[in-house]
Structure 1
Amino acid sequence: MNKPIPCRYVSPDDLEARVAALEIQVRELTEEVRTGRQDTAAARVLAGGADRDVAQIREEIRDLRQATTASFNAMREDLTELRHRVDRLEVLVDRLADKVDRGFAEMRGKFDALAAGQQQIVGLLNTLIAQQGGQPDAQR
């Protein structure tokens, strides 16, 4: 390693060259420090912008999540209500179907009674016609 040479052993010309070299190095280092500080400041600005962007995206995601959850909850309530309404309608349809079935059974009974009555009337008419000699009353 180079040990510093005491000033009494250095010639003035050599000292001037060394000082000039040091001044150049100091300027270069000063410029590097300035550039480093500028880069650091720019990096801080970019990092701050990125932090704001990330915070904004997080907020948007949080808002979207809340809106989605609220929408799903509303849909769940709607589906639950709809399911209850369908269940009530199913009960009503079953009752109406039973009523229709009873009505058809009642009508079938009445039609059977009508058919029996008509058959009895036909029998009576045939008996009357036969008693009158096979001739209707209008032709006598």
Structure 2
Amino acid sequence: MSQPPDFEARLAALEARMVEVAADAAAARHLAAARDRDLADVGIKVDANRSAINALGEQVASGFTEVRGKLDATAAGQVQIAELLTRLIEGRSNE
């Protein structure tokens, strides 16, 4: 059985193409591994940011509680001042 005249050229082209395909596959594996590392890094950063945001939220809540306590104390002091002023005014009007 004889081979077509362009058989050797076609075989050489096919072999060259196989080398290119193997190189493309290696590059794809490398890119996929890099993507996996990048995704892992992003996941770590997201977790760190979530922890930081939660910690800040707790600080803010604690700060609001503290401010609310101070405002309540101030309001109580103002009530006492108002009562003292009322007594003082009433005492002067009875004279």
Q: Provide the TM-score with structure 2 as the length reference.
A: 0.88
2:30 aligned with 1:70, yes or no? Answer: yes
Instruction: Specify the alignment match of 1:89 in structure 2.
Output: 49
The alignment yields a C-alpha RMSD, in angstroms, of: 1.6
Runs (5+) with no aligned partner, structure 2: none
Alignment of 1:10-89 (within 5 A): 43-44=4-5, 46-89=6-49
Runs (5+) with no aligned partner, structure 1: 1-39, 135-140
Structure 1 residue identity aligned to 2:33: N
Q: What is the number of equivalent residue pairs in this alignment?
A: 93
Structure 1 distance, partners of 2:13, 2:29, is 24
Q: Percent identical across equivalent pairs?
A: 29
Q: Could you say which structure has the larger radius of gyration?
A: 1
Structure 2 distance, partners of 1:48, 1:85, is 56
2:88 aligned with 1:128, yes or no? Answer: yes
- Select the structure with the greater relative contact order (CA < 8 A; seq sep ≥ 6): 1
Structure 1 residue identity aligned to 2:83: G
